[in-house]
Amino acid sequence: MCGALLRGSKSAWLRGYGDPPPETLIVVGMHRDFLDQSFESCELAGHLTNRYGIVNSAIDGDADVFLCRYLRQPWPDFWKRFQYYG
Cα separation, 24 vs 68, in Å, equals 6
pLDDT of residue 10: 54
pLDDT of residue 57: 66
Look up the domain containing 41 and give its range.
2-82
- Supply the DSSP string of 33-64, one letter for each residue: HHHHHHEEEEEEEEE---TT----TTTTT--E
pLDDT of residue 27: 86
pLDDT of residue 22: 86
Cα separation, 47 vs 9, in Å, equals 22
| Cα torsion angle, 11, 14, 68, 2, sign | negative
12-68 pLDDT, tens digit each: 667 777 788 888 988 887 889 989 999 999 999 998 877 887 776 665 666 889 999
Put simply, whether the predicted model's pTM sits higher than 0.85 gets the answer: no
Give the count of domains, the chain: 1
